Amino acid sequence: MKHSLIIALSFLFLTFSCTESETTYINTVTGPISIDSMGLALVHEHVLVDFIGADSVSPERYNQEEVIAKVLPYLLEVKKYGVKTIFDCTPSYLAKDPILLKMLSEQSGIQIITNTGLYGTQKGKFLPDYAFTETAEQLADRWIVEYRNGIEGTGIKPGFIKISVNEDDPLGEMDSKLVRAAGLTYEQTSLKIYSHTGTWNTAKQEVAILKEMGIDPSAFVWVHAQAEQDFQNYLVAAKLGVWISLDGVGWSLDEYVERLLFAKENGFLDQVLISHDAGWYDPAKSDGGDFVPFTNIFEKLMPALNAQGFDEADWKMLLEGNPKRAFGN
């Protein structure tokens, strides 16, 4: 009897341990959550962005309470459409403010996820001085520390890596370094690589670097893939396992209808992410400037595509299933 009890308890312990080890979590600004609790997610939005440049960006250029007063109504508005999670893609040195995001998350009830990494586009305007002298390994060490200990002493940990590269062929030395640093960080943290890119000609070079490092292309999110004009390249990317992010619905509509119909007709809708790339409070403008709401997907894109055969299952895949698979470990 005693022997049987021990066996039963051992089985329960092993079952519990396996369940725990298989549970995937992602860091939000208020702490880790189960990937399954993300719900409906917008994977590329912005609360605050300052384009002044890395040499001048500063928290003194804005007031957190004024930003909250401007942004909170837009978060509450999109929450009515069932949105539970928003990825804030504002990079370091463009006014990324984890504390501000935490306050907005607590006041809105929306789970907000921030990032680590560096933004290399516009020929390094948004890169700090150390980025030009440090190796990929040293940059990765910085990002890994943020993942383990929190961003800039806040204790708030990133849920993904955000980089950007210039549209160069071949890819420039700095951009290649950022991709390698992201790859090294991914290897130590499993944080997915979200790269502001553009055309497949550039994205495929990033993927090639990661593959040389032994990293599967499914770790890579091709941001602003709507810039690609040759739709056959979407098929190439999808076959590799790359996540194709069509993230500018806040600004236009027609090209997204066309690309999403192509994705559905060609069987790779399960490799596509969509979002608005909308917002944001701009410290350089009076009262933060005009704020583009996070609602075009629900108010404009859905009706347009539903009229051409999209259904509830397609939207559930795009806005719930795909984000969970893309950012799960």
Task: Domain ranges for the chain, please list them.
Answer: 2-327
The whole-model pTM stands at 0.92
For residues 14 and 115, the model is more confident at 115
pLDDT at 12 over 50: no
pLDDT at 182 over 70: yes
Per-residue pLDDT of 243-266, as tens digits, reads 999 999 999 999 999 999 999 999
**% pLDDT > 90, the chain:** 92
pLDDT score for 23: 58
Structure tokens at 43: 């994977």
Per-residue pLDDT of 281-292, as tens digits, reads 999 999 999 999
Measured at the CA of 42, the angle between CA 305 and CA 40, to 5 degrees, comes to: 80
Q: How confident is the model at residue 1 (pLDDT cuts 50, 70, 90)?
A: very low
For residues 23 and 166, the model is more confident at 166
| Cα(301)–Cα(289) distance, integer angstroms | 25
**Residue (of 303, 262, 305, 299) closest to 278 by Cα position:** 299
Mean pLDDT value across the chain: 93
Residues 6+ apart with CB under 8 A from 95: 48, 49, 50, 57, 59, 61, 62, 283
pLDDT score for 258: 98
Domain 2-327 sits in CATH at 3.20.20.140
pLDDT score for 9: 34
Residues 6+ apart with CB under 8 A from 213: 180, 183, 184, 187
